[in-house]
A and B are shown apart, each in its own frame.
Chain A
Amino acid sequence: MLSLEHVTKIYRLGAFGLQKLIAVRDVTFEIGEREIVSLIGESGSGKSTIGKLILRLIPLTSGRICFEGTDVSTLNGRSLKEYYRKVQGVFQDPFASFNPIFKADRIFRMIREEFYPGMNAREWSEKVEGALRAVGLNPPDVLNKFPHQLSGGQLQRFLVARALLLDIRLLIADEIISMLDASTRVDVLNLLADLKARGLSILFITHDLSLGYYISDRAVILYRGRIAEMGPTDRVYNYPLHPYTEMLMEAVPRLDRKWDEEIRVEREGELASMAVTGCVYASRCPKAIDICKEQEPELKEAEAGHFVACWA
């Protein structure tokens, strides 16, 4: 449904834009119908940049993003509005997504003004209530309130409900539960699973490996703007092929297994802005061989649907 082809994003930094920061490099993957894909990476891996590129919040440097066969970057005016009817994003900080001066349900009114100017009031309020129920909120409890009167979990559901008012097909969920409390975050996570059952596709951007495992069908592991590994979630988690993924799986705190008793300070990777020849992980990789430093590994299919970019 959505495909990214050789997507690259270079930010220009410094006073005259002389420095380059390669945030995303040659990323290619797809999101299918009714599929939850998790995009997993540490800070600075470019995961949020990819989300913003899909939502057209920032321009591409090169490559193509296609939604249902059309190149997203060619959209403008009416066709762009049609795109936003189908593709919407929800972001990390629910409190920052609302204007504290206005009541929280203003976001629904803005959708109506923008997308449904002809709809009558009764029909509209039914639609809003339907969307709120779909995200597990009781409309009388949450309507007509200011953002500070609602909890983070409720606000986050509000934003999902706002997306549901449109004919949404794809939701970009960028770290949407990392600011929520443990006892409520799993409910928002389950909500995503319910939305999938209603026919939505979701790009779930996260740094938390356990969340990615819980919810997604496929996992894409990013390291410094490159895809290190991608494939069906259980294969990537249980049989990681890339040394970086292996390291992540070992370091993630689990409840069924304790860490090995050994201090290993990871060598810091170089700054992302530095030009790299060869594999970006080579300087930290315990399995690096000569070729890793010279040539960049291509993403290769190691088993059905499971891709890895590693020489070893």
Chain B
Amino acid sequence: MLQVENLTVYYKTIRGYVQALEQATFKIADGEIMGLAGESGCGKTTLGHSLIYLRPPMNYIGGRVVLDGQELPIWDMEKMREFRYRHVSLIPQYAMNALNPTRKIGRMIAELLESRGVNYNDVLPELKRRLDLVQLTHDVLKMYPIELSGGMKQRTVMVVSTLLNPSLLIADEITSALDVSTQKAVCEMLVEFRDRGFVKSTIIITHDISILYQIADSILVMYAGQLSEKAPSEIIFRDARHPYTRLLIGSLPKVGVRYREERLRGIPGSPPQLLNPPPGCRFRERCPVAFDRCVEVPPFLEISPGHFVACWRAY
């Protein structure tokens, strides 16, 4: 169970703070796969990374992160080391580049485990079982990364990242560089890992919302550093209450929709600068239903069980 309360992270630049993540408050239950969606620059990667590796120029401003009843010292890189990999793990965006090219896969895993005080040979039987599960031969342990295809590397990294059964897994854009057929297999593996209890909670960061509809239990939508809406996937797609979520879903081309029959519309305008963002709801300028109340920041409230939204029009 992950609880995030008022987490605020800024980027320090010469011209001031870029307010990339503002007062994020949400929970993820055990066994929940939460999708984190939004456009580029909305703070989704900042949020994901701040839970595991908050490095400069990211600056911790405030808030608490509690994982399984224990507070994570996310502001302290050294103290976080004890939690990283063991309790919180990450599948990075470019898994193909995440492997050390000068080490055989097995040796690299051994070194990684050793740095966490775990004996490689104790874990080896489980490692082999998991390689079987993702349909990789045990020979990959004796291979160099260059000998594997993109999809195989991706699966290897997934197995390595979850080997110590972390409580929280963060998957950052793991499908964006893959072909549709491989994409589907990778996504289904994430579900399988959850079902088998390798990980408790999963956060999938992606810009591809249709992937989330397939595998996520809930979806958190962000806009310009603020949380807009969190709800079970079905509700996000069928009954979203935040105007941004609705417009975003409405702008997605789907198989079965053609421009001649149904012309989709984008959202006019562009997100605000986060260096000195305007006060209040940051979607205000592009919002078709904005009114004078929107100059105040709307609170992220639960309007029905499991459905949170930050919009004055929705309460």
How distant is the Cα of A182 from the Cα of B259 in the complex, in angstroms? 16
| Complex contact B263–A259 (CB within 8 A) | no
| Complex contact A254–B254 (CB within 8 A) | yes
How distant is the Cα of A249 from the Cα of B259 in the complex, in angstroms? 19
- Interface locus among B63-71, B76-84, B122-130, B184-192: B184-192
| Complex contact A184–B188 (CB within 8 A) | no
Q: How many residue pairs, one in A and one in B, have C-beta atoms under 8 Å apart?
A: 125
- Interface locus among A93-101, A263-271, A294-302: A263-271
Q: 1/0 per residue B186-220: CB within 8 Å of A?
A: 00110010000000000000011111011000000
User: A187 on the interface (CB 8 Å rule)?
Assistant: yes
Size class of the A contact interface (CB-based, 8 Å): 35 or more
| Complex contact B188–A263 (CB within 8 A) | yes
| Complex contact A249–B184 (CB within 8 A) | no
- Within A247-263, the residues touching B (CB, 8 Å) are 247-249, 251-256, 258-259, 262-263
Q: Chain B: how many interface residues by the 8 Å CB criterion?
A: 45
User: A33 on the interface (CB 8 Å rule)?
Assistant: no
Q: 1/0 per residue A212-255: CB within 8 Å of B?
A: 01110000000000000000011001000000000111011111
With A251-B184, A265-B185 in contact, is A214–B257 under 8 Å at CB? yes
- Interface locus among A48-56, A160-168, A203-211: A203-211
Which residues on the A side are within 8 Å of B210 (C-beta)?
Answer: 210, 253-255
User: B183 on the interface (CB 8 Å rule)?
Assistant: yes
> From residue B183, how far is it (CB to closest CB) to chain A in Å?
7
Which residues on the A side are within 8 Å of B265 (C-beta)?
Answer: 186-187
> From residue B162, how far is it (CB to closest CB) to chain A in Å?
16
Which residues on the B side are within 8 Å of A247 (C-beta)?
Answer: 181
| Complex contact B254–A210 (CB within 8 A) | yes
- The winner among B135, B149, B192, B259 for most chain A CB atoms within 10 A is B259
Which residues on the B side are within 8 Å of A251 (C-beta)?
Answer: 180-181, 183-184
> From residue A223, how far is it (CB to closest CB) to chain B in Å?
11
How distant is the Cα of A142 from the Cα of B256 in the complex, in angstroms? 35
How distant is the Cα of A154 from the Cα of B79 in the complex, in angstroms? 44
| Complex contact A42–B213 (CB within 8 A) | no
Which residues on the B side are within 8 Å of A273 (C-beta)?
Answer: none
| Complex contact B149–A214 (CB within 8 A) | no
> From residue A49, how far is it (CB to closest CB) to chain B in Å?
17
With A185-B266, A248-B181 in contact, is A213–B188 under 8 Å at CB? no
User: Nearest A residue to B213 by beta-carbon distance?
Assistant: A255
| Complex contact B185–A263 (CB within 8 A) | yes
With A186-B265, A211-B253, A265-B135 in contact, is A248–B180 under 8 Å at CB? yes
User: B1 on the interface (CB 8 Å rule)?
Assistant: no
With A253-B211, A263-B189 in contact, is A184–B258 under 8 Å at CB? no
> From residue A88, how far is it (CB to closest CB) to chain B in Å?
22
Q: 1/0 per residue A178-202: CB within 8 Å of B?
A: 0001111111011001000000000
| Complex contact B252–A268 (CB within 8 A) | no
Which residues on the A side are within 8 Å of B251 (C-beta)?
Answer: 182-183, 185-186
| Complex contact B248–A183 (CB within 8 A) | yes
Which residues on the A side are within 8 Å of B5 (C-beta)?
Answer: none
| Complex contact B259–A214 (CB within 8 A) | yes
Which residues on the B side are within 8 Å of A209 (C-beta)?
Answer: 180, 255
How distant is the Cα of A22 from the Cα of B181 in the complex, in angstroms? 22
> From residue B265, how far is it (CB to closest CB) to chain A in Å?
7
> From residue A187, how far is it (CB to closest CB) to chain B in Å?
4
Which residues on the B side are within 8 Å of A210 (C-beta)?
Answer: 210, 252-255, 257
> From residue B104, how far is it (CB to closest CB) to chain A in Å?
20
Q: 1/0 per residue B157-179: CB within 8 Å of A?
A: 00000000000000000000001
User: A151 on the interface (CB 8 Å rule)?
Assistant: yes
Which residues on the B side are within 8 Å of A185 (C-beta)?
Answer: 251, 266
| Complex contact A181–B39 (CB within 8 A) | yes
How distant is the Cα of A186 from the Cα of B264 in the complex, in angstroms? 7
Q: 1/0 per residue B110-142: CB within 8 Å of A?
A: 000000000000000000000000110000000
User: A43 on the interface (CB 8 Å rule)?
Assistant: yes
Which residues on the A side are within 8 Å of B149 (C-beta)?
Answer: 268
| Complex contact A213–B267 (CB within 8 A) | no
User: B31 on the interface (CB 8 Å rule)?
Assistant: no
| Complex contact A268–B151 (CB within 8 A) | yes
Specify which of A42, A186, A259, A264 is in contact with B253 (CB 8 Å cutoff). Answer: A186
With A185-B266, A265-B134 in contact, is A256–B188 under 8 Å at CB? no
How distant is the Cα of A181 from the Cα of B270 in the complex, in angstroms? 10
21 contacts between A and B (CB under 8 A): A42-B181, A182-B209, A182-B251, A182-B252, A183-B266, A184-B270, A185-B266, A189-B253, A190-B266, A207-B180, A210-B257, A213-B257, A214-B258, A233-B258, A249-B255, A251-B180, A251-B181, A251-B183, A254-B213, A254-B256, A259-B188
| A residues with CB within 8 A of B | 42-43, 151, 153, 181-187, 189-190, 193, 207, 209-211, 213-215, 233-234, 237, 247-249, 251-256, 258-259, 262-266, 268
Known: A254-B254, A255-B237. 8 other contacts (CB 8 A): A183-B251, A210-B257, A213-B253, A248-B180, A254-B255, A265-B155, A265-B185, A268-B152
8 shortest A-B CB distances, which residue pairs? A42-B179, A187-B266, A183-B267, A253-B210, A214-B253, A181-B39, A251-B184, A265-B135
| B residues with CB within 8 A of A | 39-40, 134-135, 149, 151-152, 155, 179-185, 188-189, 192, 207-211, 213-214, 237, 247-249, 251-260, 263-267, 270
